[in-house]
């Protein structure tokens, strides 16, 4: 029987650590899955990959006890349903601004009579025996709150039947709610923005659903668990690779006093 490990992990009162995948590589997905994350999110919105890249990554993660999550690029039924059919157990949908948008997204997640999902679990049916019976109860829909409108409507979004969680993207939330006062980025310290982030977690908890926050550093992510978040994401594969490579190169050059190449690759 299909059982969403992450859903039951939360039901037991345990927080979770989420990893983030933007590189189209089953090998990278497998390496990340071996590191002890509770879940891994494949990013179809901003990641350098598409459905063809996602599918083998889900297969590579299958051997490890990690829950597969997919962030879809938009609130569109085709890609939501294909991600579920491929084996995603949680879907994160960006830019949910109203209860109506939340309800539409939620409908894509579940088979009739609870939704409008078309039946055809191409891979999920093989990966999870009894998938068709249990899917409606086990898949989870996370709505991203990342605009002023979404923040204003967060209570209504959280109360929407079929929405199982709220996910905070702090960069877009900063852009969308501070009138250009704050630059996008992880781990904000601005009091107003932090208050908005904490409000989202509080609304989720009051509504009986889950909440997640994208963070840059483990210390901030651990603090956010104390704010009431059920799941925190720490960085992602691209940034972790860049940070590890940069630290190694910097250390070697410090020890050898060797100069770096003049045309070094620019990093954001």
Give the CA angle between residues 16, 171, 109 to the nearest 5°: 55
SS3 call for 143: strand
Q: According to the model, what pLDDT value does residue 171 have? A: 98
Segment 81-86 mean pLDDT: 99
Has 46 been annotated as catalytic? yes
Asked, as a colleague might, if the bond just before 113 is cis with ω within 30 of 0, I would say yes
Tokens linked to 36 = 């002890």
145, HSE (Cβ side, Cα atoms, 13 Å): 31
Active-site residue, from 9, 46, 128, 214: 46
Helix (H, G, I), strand (E, B) or coil at 232: strand
Query: What does the pLDDT look like over 115-128, one tens digit per residue?
Result: 999 999 999 999 99
Q: pLDDT confidence of 72, banded at 50, 70, 90?
A: very high
Residue 266: band (very low, low, confident or very high) from pLDDT cuts 50, 70, 90: low
The whole-number average pLDDT for the span 64-82 is: 98
CA gap 29, 9 in Å, rounded? 21
Q: What percent of the chain has pLDDT over 70?
A: 98
Residue 85: per-residue pLDDT: 99
- Given a cut of 90, whether residue 268 has pLDDT beyond it is no
Tell me the average pLDDT across 147-154. 99
**pLDDT value, residue 1:** 80
pLDDT tens readout for residues 7-43: 999 999 999 999 999 999 999 999 999 999 999 999 9
DSSP class of 210:
E
pLDDT in tens, 169-199: 999 999 999 998 999 999 999 999 999 999 9
Query: Which fold would CATH assign to domain 5-256?
Result: TIM Barrel (3.20.20)
What pLDDT sits at residue 262? Answer: 80
Q: How many CB atoms lie within 10 A of CB 171?
A: 16
Q: What are phi and psi for residue 111, nearest 5 degrees?
A: -75, 155
Who has greater pLDDT, 209 or 263? 209
DSSP state letters, 104-123: HHHHHHS-TTS--PPS--TT
Res 58 pLDDT > 80: yes
At 39 the pLDDT is: 99
Domain boundaries, the chain: 5-256
Task: Please write the tens of the pLDDT for every residue from 194-252.
Answer: 999 999 999 999 999 999 999 999 999 999 999 999 999 999 999 999 999 999 999 99
By CB atoms closer than 10 A (0-12, 13-18, 19+), residue 39 is buried
CB 105 within 8 A of CB 80: yes
């Amino acid at each position: 029987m299909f059982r969403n490990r992450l859903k039951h992990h939360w039901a037991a009162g345990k927080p979770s650590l989420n990893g983030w995948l933007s590189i189209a590589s089953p090998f990278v997905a497998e390496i990340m899955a071996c590191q002890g994350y509770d879940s891994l999110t494949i990013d179809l919105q901003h990641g350098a990959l598409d459905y063809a890249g996602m599918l083998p990554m889900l297969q590579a993660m299958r051997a490890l006890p990690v829950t597969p999550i997919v962030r879809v690029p938009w609130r569109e039924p085709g890609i939501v349903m294909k991600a579920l059919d491929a084996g995603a157990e949680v879907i994160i949908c960006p830019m949910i601004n109203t209860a109506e948008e939340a309800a539409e997204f939620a409908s894509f997640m579940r088979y009739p009579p609870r939704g409008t999902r078309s039946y055809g679990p191409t891979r999920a049916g093989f990966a999870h025996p009894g998938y068709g019976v249990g899917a409606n109860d086990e898949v989870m829909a996370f709505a991203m709150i990342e605009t002023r409108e979404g923040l204003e409507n967060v209570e209504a979004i959280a109360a929407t039947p079929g929405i199982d969680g709220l996910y905070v993207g702090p960069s877009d939330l900063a852009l969308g709610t501070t009138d250009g006062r704050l630059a996008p980025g992880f781990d904000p310290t601005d009091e107003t923005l932090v208050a908005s982030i904490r409000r989202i977690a509080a609304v989720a908890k009051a509504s009986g659903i889950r909440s997640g926050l994208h963070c840059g550093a483990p210390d901030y992510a651990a603090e956010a668990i104390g704010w009431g978040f059920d799941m925190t994401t720490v960085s992602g594969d691209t940034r972790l690779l860049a940070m590890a490579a940069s630290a190694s190169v910097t250390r070697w050059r410090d020890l050898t006093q060797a100069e770096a190449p003049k045309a070094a690759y620019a990093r954001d």
